[in-house]
Amino acid sequence: MTLSDSGYLMRRDPVIGRLGELAEPNAPDRCTYAGIAKKLALFLTSIAMGCLLCGIAKVTGSDPLDEQLHVNSVELILLAAAALIALITPWPAISIRKTTPVTGTMFCAAVGYIVMWLGATLGRQYRAAIVLSFLITILLVCTMCFLYGRGIIRADRGFRTFLMTACITLIAGSLMTFIGSLIPATRGLVSELAADPILSLGVGVVMVILGSLFLISDLDTIRQCVEGGMSKDYEWYASFGLAFSVIWLYFKVLQLVLRFMGRGSSRSGKR
């Protein structure tokens, strides 16, 4: 786990977390579940458009700069732009409400381009990991929606306290690891722990579980926002927050799947 992961978990979701601060119970045009779902669909469609743009760039690009990877100059330019957009756009989407429709769409399209590029460029095994991670993420999202909808998991005070405690524990562990890597006396031990495949897989599993549980918190906050009568303008905040959570969870699942695949490949090589 990285410090950025810890920061995400501590904030839960920067977009969803702010919705409670922006409530307008007496707004004439109120936020609805249907409105949030439509805007979420638009963000997910933007991911698909990013994938399509990557496919077009591969087909229409100039001669490959790398014959082995079949990467052309157009792809690299678009990849660099997508990476920059993915790094920059979440901040205005979170902090400046009026920009969320544009910046949120740009972020989702950039993520789609990056995922498609990785799958199309880095080989069959990586493509398999991308597809498998997508299916697992969909399964996790559907499972969390079912559990929350049925009331099997409730986002009550005890649930939120558990998540916060888990976040604090992971943050403390991450900070200790970071500090230990800077101290010569403990640097070797930290490197050994980081290279331990079992520990790495364990941390990956914990991150996926926590990411899934935070979806419950997101869904509950959205419910409170709709039932609290927030202004319809904040549907963009809610939908982008949920899209952001799903994307983050997808990449955590992808990392975990790649670790499992890498571990399986190393075992096969030894045999």
Which domain does 191 fall in, by range? 3-270
pLDDT in tens, 231-250: 887 888 888 988 988 998 99
Distance CA 126, CA 47 (A): 19
pLDDT in tens, 11-60: 445 555 555 555 455 556 888 889 999 999 999 999 999 988 888 877 66
Predicted TM-score (pTM) of the model is 0.79
Cβ atoms within 10 Å of 31's Cβ, excluding its own:
26
- Residue 124: helix, strand or coil by DSSP? helix
Angle at 89 between CA 138 and CA 247, to 5 degrees: 10
- Residue 152: helix, strand or coil by DSSP? coil
Give residue 109's pLDDT: 94
Number of domains in the chain: 1
Distance CA 58, CA 82 (A): 15
Yes or no: say if 136 and 114 are a contact pair by the CB < 8 Å rule: no
Token pair of 74, please? 């157009």
pLDDT in tens, 205-215: 888 998 898 89
pLDDT in tens, 77-110: 888 899 999 999 988 888 887 899 999 999 999 9
Yes or no: say if 163 and 12 are a contact pair by the CB < 8 Å rule: yes
What mean pLDDT do residues 69-78 have?
A: 70
